[in-house]
Chains A and B, each alone.
Chain A
Amino acid sequence: MEKRVTFKGWLLPLLLIAPQVIISAIFFFYPAGQAIWQSLFIPDPFGLSMQYVGLGNFEYLLSDPYYRTSFLTTAIFSTLVTLCSMIPALFLAVVADRLIKGAGVYRTMLIWPYAVAPAIAGVLWLFMFNTRVGVVSWYLGHLGYDWNHVLNGGEAMGLVVVASAWGRISYNFLFFFAALQAIPKSVIEAAAIDGARFWRRFWTIVLPLLSPTTFFLLVVNIVYAFFETFGVIHTITSGGPQQSTTILVYKVFSDGFVGQDLGSSAAQSVILLVVVGALTVFQFKFVERRVHY
């Protein structure tokens, strides 16, 4: 039975939802409306004049093969970042959950990387993999592998994925760890008494019980990979070589704030809005079905 509360009159309910509505209006609907409006124009950088071009900005973008490739790059990048940040986090959480001594220290150490700002994390990884002075690339060189992410697109992609996922592992770890602690010990013990071994218990009991957390993290991590990673990409590769690490949001940033092409940048934001909207609807409609609350 659902509980229903009935309000007398309209004033109170309106007042109660007002903060949320106002915040959404100011921080979402107004900027989104502005982006849609701006995407119909080619303005000059100083905002002195605007040329109405209708859907010209969209036409220009979609006829650019590099822009179309950028969708694929974004899909690969966000899938890899999500996997690389969630799987190790789950593994670490499971291992930390079994610890009896020193769990606190272990946990604190694992959370540390989350405190590092994305751009700084980018610089850190860039130093380690610098083609000439980097520690890691130096060792790779000794093993006979010639690391050069400046020219090799695959290596560049690997580097930005690792740098973006690294700090995120801590965040995911926190959620997984909390969710594991919330699983009643009695369920696990009952399974153990029935003779289920660790991995069997993990697959059939722990993982399904973690599914709400996993789903939440999936949504949050994809949003992260889409929108919050451009600091890392900017410091490590600037989208290169040959746009192999130019994800959609990085192109919005570089065309708008480096190239001062605000019309194209606004049109890209609109496209991105549609893509992320569709993705979120998809996740809630199809992936959430497999989630047990």
Chain B
Amino acid sequence: MKNLTTGALIAASTMLSPFAAMAETEVQFWHAFTGRLGELVAAQVEEFNASQDEFTVVASHKGNYSETLNAGIAAFRAGEQPQILMVFEVGTATMMSAEGAVRSVTEVMEASGAEFDPDAYIGAVNGYYTSTDGEMLSLPFNASTPVLWVNRDAFEAAGVDPDTDLSTWQNVGEALTALQEGGSTCPLTTAWQSWIHLENFSAYHDVPFATQDNGFAGVDTELAFNGPAQVAHISAMGEWAADGKFFYAGRRNEGGANFRAGECALFTESSAGYAGIKAEAEFPFDVRPLPYWDGVGNSPQNTIIGGASLWVMEGHEAAEYEGAAQFLAYLSSSDVQAKWHQDTGYLPITNAAADATRAAGFYEENLGTEVAVIQMTTNEPTANSKGLRLGSFDQIRGIIDEELEAVWSGDKDAQTALDSAVERGNGLLRRFEQANR
């Protein structure tokens, strides 16, 4: 018996030996990244843990974005919430209205005295996560914006000049016809249809997606994406789908597999598709700005972000908040941000990170990687292009997906489908308003 106890003690002390004598404070960090992105996050956490010996950040993967948010919510209900939770941009309104469940990042940073300057973030990112009183509530982490990916080989195979001007949908429409005539079976495909072809489309053409400044000015917001600009775009896409010029692969990024395999000539997808496309595509590819309809709205205005931010949750010890603050300060430092941007294709979310990347000559070596940055930052965001803040937005996206599928299959025309999506989505917004009264 005595031997066993001694053995256990030795085993325990060996396990603890790399750590300092004093017990370290643990900070739980739940995120949604797998694969290459998961490795990069793990590396960041490891570097932070090695850089000091007061805190240990424990990163756990909790599934995709929706699953991670749901895991965080379920954990909060059970009193087991992590200190830091990654929440995708769609869940922002849900988190913002959860007073008593989340603690604002600004408050956490001020209390710890860690270095933090909300103004260091680029406008479009900063605005998304700042409350109406001007307080930044969560820390922007990964942000991307949709761009147009071009398979140059597919253009050449169809006898179309790959350098043709694709900046407007008018030009893209002509190119699609030429590609199809040249034998392409998949001239255009897309990922994240609602995010790219309605949410970003509205911002890019400076038309409202929802009333009350897209929800920023209050929860009594109503959807407004059944306006003439959006209807015209979805109509055109519907016609392309009927003609076989636009291939619909699925609601998330299923189309990516078709593009990376070389089947599709054009692909509208997040700038963060860069890591995957670069690794897998066996053809020369271009990154172009997202096309706009010339003469519609104030196009091109600016596109908005997708991605996630880090929320600090309530109900922990002061020392744990101190650790969370230190970790968040590390993540937002310009070196870490610049490396993250270059590795992943996510936007450099601080101006300093963008400058550092430019100074390092990254954009000259990797042509096209700057397109997303320029597209987001050239114009000062308007009320229509600041972002979206809508409750139950994950569900609303589901509704939009359903209605768009009805257009692609030819069951509904664009106006009917968008009207129906607006009506059904408004029902959810009213419920959200009621729940957060």
Contact = CB atoms under 8 A, between A and B. Distances in A.
Given A255-B395, A258-B395, A46 B101 contact: yes
B392 to A, nearest CB: 6
Interface stretch (B42-50, B250-258, B274-282, B337-345): B250-258
Interface in B7-42: none
Contacts of A261: 392, 395, 428, 431
Contact of A51 (B402, B411, B435): B435
Interface in A31-48: 42-48
Contacts of B257: 132-133
B284 interface: no
Interface in A135-155: 150-152
A259 B392 contact: yes
Interface in B81-101: 94, 97-101
A257 B250 CA distance: 21
B248 A47 contact: no
Contacts of B263: 132
Given A150-B250, A151-B408, A240 B258 contact: no
A258 B436 contact: no
A238 B401 CA distance: 11
Interface in B402-416: 402-403, 405-406, 408-409, 411
A44 B395 contact: no
A257 B70 contact: yes
A233 to B, nearest CB: 14
B73 to A, nearest CB: 5
A238 B399 CA distance: 12
Interface in B375-403: 392, 394-395, 398, 401-403
Given A45-B94, A46-B73, A48-B100, A240 B401 contact: yes
B251 A51 contact: no
A60 interface: yes
Place the interface of chain A in its size category: 20 to 34
Contact of A45 (B98, B248, B405, B424): B98
Nearest to A57: B431
A258 B434 contact: no
B2 interface: no
Given A132-B258, A243-B402, A151 B248 contact: yes
B10 to A, nearest CB: 41
B168 interface: no
B431 A44 contact: no
A160 B124 CA distance: 42
Contact of B435 (A43, A64, A131, A255): A43
B131 interface: no
Interface residues of B, number: 40
B412 to A, nearest CB: 9
Q: Is the interface of B mostly helix, strand, loop or mixed?
A: helix
A64 B427 contact: yes
Contacts of B392: 259-261
Interface string B251-294: 10010011001010000000000000000000000000000000
B299 interface: no
A132 B249 contact: yes
Contacts of A44: 97-98, 435-436
A150 B258 contact: no
A276 interface: no
A137 to B, nearest CB: 13
A151 B98 contact: no
Interface string A229-245: 00000000010111100
Contact of B434 (A48, A53, A151): A53
A264 interface: yes
Contact of B394 (A48, A64, A133, A259): A259
A47 B431 CA distance: 15
A240 B435 contact: no
Given A151-B408, A258-B395, A45 B434 contact: no
A66 interface: yes
Contacts of A42: 431, 434-435
Contact of A238 (B251, B395, B409, B411): B251
A260 B94 contact: yes
A254 interface: yes
Contacts of A66: 424
B98 A241 contact: no
Contacts of A131: 249
A238 B405 CA distance: 13
A177 B108 CA distance: 66
Nearest to B396: A259
Contact of B411 (A47, A242, A254, A260): A242
Contacts of A133: 257
A43 B100 CA distance: 14
Given A254-B398, A255-B395, A240 B405 contact: yes
Nearest to B258: A132
A242 B406 contact: yes
Interface string B319-341: 00000000000000000000000
A49 B437 CA distance: 9
B73 A241 contact: no
A47 B72 CA distance: 12
B263 to A, nearest CB: 7
A237 B66 CA distance: 17
Contacts of B100: 46, 48
B76 interface: yes
A152 B258 contact: no
B303 to A, nearest CB: 26
A260 B73 contact: yes
A94 B250 CA distance: 42
Given A45-B98, A151-B408, A259 B434 contact: no
Contacts of B428: 259, 261
A259 B395 contact: yes
Interface string B156-172: 00000000000000000
Given A46-B77, A46-B98, A131-B249, A258 B70 contact: yes
Contacts of A263: 431, 435
A152 B98 contact: no
Top 7 A-B pairs ranked by shortest CB distance?
A259-B395, A241-B405, A151-B409, A46-B101, A42-B435, A44-B435, A242-B402
7 contacts: A44-B98, A45-B73, A240-B251, A242-B411, A255-B395, A258-B70, A259-B395
Interface of B: 66, 70, 73, 76-77, 94, 97-101, 248-251, 254, 257-258, 261, 263, 392, 394-395, 398, 401-403, 405-406, 408-409, 411, 424, 427-428, 431, 434-437
